[in-house]
A and B are shown apart, each in its own frame.
Chain A
Amino acid sequence: MKHPARWTALLVAAMIVGLGVVLAVQVGDDPRSDATTSQLVGKAAPEFSLRTLDGIPVTTDTLLGKVVIINFWNSWCIPCRVELPALKEFYDRHRDDPSVALVGIVRDDSTKVIKSYANAEGIDWIIAIDPNSQTALAFGTRGQPETFAVDANGLITGAQIGPVTLRDLELLLESAQGR
């Protein structure tokens, strides 16, 4: 090699140009695109063991065999209030179907406040309290509201981050029913 320093400089320059090209190509990709969708769709729902407002156990096992819509929420979250009418209508449509369950899991709120809120709003579906938000964490939630559809075998078939509409809920139900 006649001019090693020159070759080294050329190599370093080529690498810098290469890096520039790679960065330019990648610039359109959002590195946090995985933050807008649940990573758990297609995987088994995390196991949980919670209690309702009346102290009745709600566990993965008690819900097995049913199609379950799980909605993470709390009383002070405005988007949760926005989606409440849709949840009410969805529940009214399916409350007599024994193969379908709607479970609201409350994170970061007090049982007393939730009891009073549920009574005032006429919420009749299963409401379970998630102490320390450990179940919310197991589901990989990023806040509330977040809604998951779980099929009869305990597999997560769909998820939505943010408030749901009645149509969203029906689509989630259909995904869990395999339709």
Chain B
Amino acid sequence: MTSRRVLPWLGLIAVFLIVIVWASWPSGDRQTVNEQAHELASEIRCPDCEGLNVADSFTTSARAIRKDLLRRLKAGESESEIKSSYADRYGESILLNPDSSGLGILVWGLPIVVLIFGGAGIAFTILRRSKTPRLTPTDDDRSEVDRARDQ
């Protein structure tokens, strides 16, 4: 494979990697406690309503949880401490993000594994093709083409 054919692929991979790094790079802006509480509230399931997180719900429990989250964050508790306290009282299902251990690891890990092996497969294919010599016409081929043109 010539460098002319490899370059677009390398460019595509570079763009892909740049986009992933850019999207996952932590923002430089420091969150306020209120923003942090709102983000945390969006990761906790509203305990007395269906299909809503605490940030989007107006039930008594959701209001109480929002107030509690703000109080705990102001008191210096970490997000993981707060989440674990809620999971202790309500069970794991109160957390909207799947647990990163046990079966939950499949949800987080499998896409990454598929991405790595898929990327490796594409890379192997490109490399293998690049090693395959390009076909050059033999004298027989040329004479056959000439015969075809003469007809």
Query: B-contacting residues of A (Cβ < 8 Å)?
Result: 4-5, 8-9, 11-12, 15-16, 19, 22, 26, 31-35, 39-40, 107-108, 132-134, 136-143
Write the nearest CB–CB distance from B43 to chain A, whole angstroms: 16
Number of interface residues of B (CB under 8 A): 27
Contact of B120 among A8, A107, A136 (CB under 8 A): A8
- Point out the residues of chain A lying under 8 angstroms from B106, CB to CB: 19, 22
**With contact pairs A39-B90, A39-B91 given, residues A15 and B60 touching in the complex (Cβ less than 8 Å):** no
Q: Which of B7-15, B110-118, B142-150 has 4 or more CB atoms under 8 Å from chain A? A: B110-118
**With contact pairs A15-B110, A35-B91, A39-B90 given, residues A136 and B64 touching in the complex (Cβ less than 8 Å):** yes
Write the nearest CB–CB distance from B107 to chain A, whole angstroms: 10
Contact A108 B124 (CB under 8 A): no
Complex Cα spacing A11 to B118, Å: 10
Dominant secondary structure at the A interface? helix
Pairs across A and B, CB under 8 Å, 11 listed: A4-B128, A8-B117, A11-B117, A34-B90, A40-B89, A133-B60, A134-B67, A137-B89, A140-B47, A142-B61, A143-B61
Complex Cα spacing A9 to B88, Å: 42
Write the nearest CB–CB distance from A117 to chain B, whole angstroms: 17
Contact A132 B67 (CB under 8 A): yes
Write the nearest CB–CB distance from A137 to chain B, whole angstroms: 5
Contact A12 B93 (CB under 8 A): no
- Residues of B41-72 contacting chain A, CB below 8 A: 47-48, 60-61, 63-65, 67-68
B100-140 near A? 1/0 per residue, CB < 8 Å: 00010010001001100110110011001000000000000
- Point out the residues of chain A lying under 8 angstroms from B79, CB to CB: none
Shortest Cβ distance from B67 into A: residue: A132
Write the nearest CB–CB distance from A130 to chain B, whole angstroms: 9
- Point out the residues of chain B lying under 8 angstroms from A108, CB to CB: 60
Write the nearest CB–CB distance from B76 to chain A, whole angstroms: 19
Complex Cα spacing A4 to B103, Å: 29
Going nearest first, the 8 A-B pairs with the smallest beta carbon separation are: A34-B91, A140-B89, A8-B121, A108-B60, A133-B64, A143-B48, A4-B124, A142-B47
Contact B114 A12 (CB under 8 A): yes
Contact B90 A35 (CB under 8 A): yes
Contact B103 A137 (CB under 8 A): no
**With contact pairs A134-B68, A138-B89, A142-B47 given, residues A9 and B121 touching in the complex (Cβ less than 8 Å):** yes
Complex Cα spacing A39 to B88, Å: 7
Known: A5-B124, A143-B47. 13 other contacts (CB 8 A): A5-B128, A8-B117, A15-B114, A16-B114, A22-B106, A34-B93, A107-B60, A134-B67, A136-B60, A137-B65, A140-B47, A140-B89, A140-B90
Complex Cα spacing A5 to B117, Å: 9
Write the nearest CB–CB distance from B84 to chain A, whole angstroms: 12
